[in-house]
Structure 1
Amino acid sequence: MKAIVTGHSRGLGAAIAETLLARGIAVLGLARHGNAGLVAACPQLFHERAIDLSDVAALQSWLGGDDLRLFLAGCTSILLINNAGTVQPVGAVGSADNAAIASALNINVATPLILANAVIAVAAEVPEKRILHVSSGAARSPYPGWSVYCASKAALDQHARSVALDRVPGVRIASVAPGVIDTEMQAEIRATPLARFPVRGKFEALQRNGQLADAGECAGRLVAYLLDDGFGAEPVTDLRD
């Protein structure tokens, strides 16, 4: 079994990669920045590639080489965890920079869909392929200032639903909302000006009241679900349900 994790350099992505490695699963991390801690801890099992996941052309160039095929060679089960994401740009419609919208959609939507397509195509003969999109409650609950973020997470949910209907042999997929986690993204949300994100107080209260989930604990639950026999029975789910 081998796994690909996007956004492995910090936060939930780093915790997911660490959890997989602790189970003896080889991991390929894709992110703009590296994770020296994982390299030092698991030099035999952990591999990483520096890719700006907002740059679709760079991603396609990498996929055009042999790197992915060589990493997946010989395995009988593949895990793809599309974790990388951004909450930016935040603000009412009409206030965002168009380039920032395009970059966000590349990271949050285009990259996960391209990677899912590429992994399934490259590993057509591999018996089992499991894809987990890290979604959000924002996919189902709209927030003022988060039109881009909410729309991008809803896109992942719909992608999972549609792929499940394709019934490609050996493919299981789920778009999973992990809950509100204590990561740098949450700190970024709390630092957003109220004029751009009027419901900031809700997230400040979650942090103040100790209601943010620990990244390591959440990663453990996500990985346990990904490896469970029931994974993919529901293409869209929430770990808190």
Structure 2
Amino acid sequence: MDKVKAVLTGHSRGLGAAIAAELAAHGIPTLALARNGGAAGKGLEQVELDLSDSQALAAWLAGGQLASFLAGASTVLLINNAGMLQPVGPLAMQAPDQVARAIALNVAAPLMLAAAVAAVPVADRRIVHVSSGAGRNAYPGWAVYCAGKAALDHHARAAALDNAPGLRVCSLAPGVIDTDMQAQIRASDPASFPLRERFEALKQQGQLDTPADCARKLLRYLLSADFGQEPVADLRDA
């Protein structure tokens, strides 16, 4: 029987916490990386690591814990879920240090982890970047967030062209989910994010997916034979 192991980022809350619970329900041992630890669970090994610190992540990757955890697996799942919305607002309002931190977390960290997992000698490696409609549609005030998610989409497209045996990569938009990030969006200053009313309406009209439902669909798709056939996908169409 296949031995599946998973690596998950941003498991301390929201969709990440729901994915961690779903992996546990499937009995999949998981190595979870986040700045703050999440709820303890069976089969969950936690690493407190600030993924916006690229040097710290590079040092951790060089330390051998990832390879040690994945030893004995026949299928490896990497779920790049961690991300941040800030900075929000027109370019002139964006602090350069916030821009650097956002790109390190939203882009550099998933690409670094993807490279590390791709190098693991396992027959079946599956990498999912949790992307967003913001990577495919530009929104005012979200230049940094949109650029980061678009980078993940294009990374998946380019990685697919490598045709590496046993490696599947997909940048997957999960839909609109009722998480802390959505609460941040609804609390945004309309001067910084003019489309706030649209997201308020989604909440009021009950159009937000629950983290648990989204996590269930995401893991089902990630484990399916269809995963990776399209390098950029939307979970609502899967």
TM bucket normalised to smaller: over 0.9
Deviation at 1:15, TM superposition (A): 0.5
Determine which of 2, 5, 10 is the counterpart of 2:8: 5
Deviation at 1:119, TM superposition (A): 1.3
Provide Cα deviations, 1:133-166, integer angstroms capped at 9, x if missing partner. Answer: 0000011111000000001000000000000000
**Letter matched to residue 115 of structure 2:** N
TM-score of the two chains, using structure 2 as the length reference = 0.97
Deviation at 1:205, TM superposition (A): 0.4
Tell me the distance in 2 between the aligned counterparts of 1:119 and 1:35.
Answer: 23
Equivalence for 1:29: 32
Determine which of 180, 192, 198 is the counterpart of 1:196: 192
**Would you say 1:142 and 2:132 are equivalent positions?**
no
SS at 2:172's partner residue?
A: strand
Tell me the distance in 1 between the aligned counterparts of 2:36 and 2:197.
Answer: 31
SS at 1:197's partner residue?
A: coil
Unaligned runs of 5+ in 2: none
Tell me the distance in 2 between the aligned counterparts of 1:20 and 1:229.
Answer: 18
Deviation at 1:49, TM superposition (A): 0.1
Tell me the distance in 2 between the aligned counterparts of 1:108 and 1:208.
Answer: 28
Tell me the distance in 1 between the aligned counterparts of 2:150 and 2:64.
Answer: 32
Tell me the distance in 1 between the aligned counterparts of 2:157 and 2:26.
Answer: 29
Equivalence for 1:111: 109
Equivalence for 1:95: 93
Deviation at 1:53, TM superposition (A): 0.7
Deviation at 1:120, TM superposition (A): 1.3
Task: State the aligned residue count.
Answer: 234
SS at 1:159's partner residue?
A: helix
**Letter matched to residue 36 of structure 2:** H
Tell me the distance in 1 between the aligned counterparts of 2:72 and 2:220.
Answer: 23
SS at 1:102's partner residue?
A: helix
Deviation at 1:94, TM superposition (A): 1.7
The CA RMSD over aligned residues, in Å, is 0.7
**Letter matched to residue 88 of structure 2:** V
Tell me the distance in 2 between the aligned counterparts of 1:182 and 1:167.
Answer: 36
**Would you say 1:231 and 2:227 are equivalent positions?**
yes
Deviation at 1:107, TM superposition (A): 0.6
Tell me the distance in 1 between the aligned counterparts of 2:168 and 2:128.
Answer: 9
Q: Runs of 4+ in structure 1 displaced over 2 angstroms?
A: none
Tell me the distance in 2 between the aligned counterparts of 1:152 and 1:46.
Answer: 28
5 Å matches for 1:112-191? 112-121=110-119, 123=120, 125-191=121-187
Provide Cα deviations, 1:76-104, integer angstroms capped at 9, x if missing partner. Answer: 11000000001110001121000000000
TM-score of the two chains, using structure 1 as the length reference = 0.96
Tell me the distance in 2 between the aligned counterparts of 1:140 and 1:229.
Answer: 25
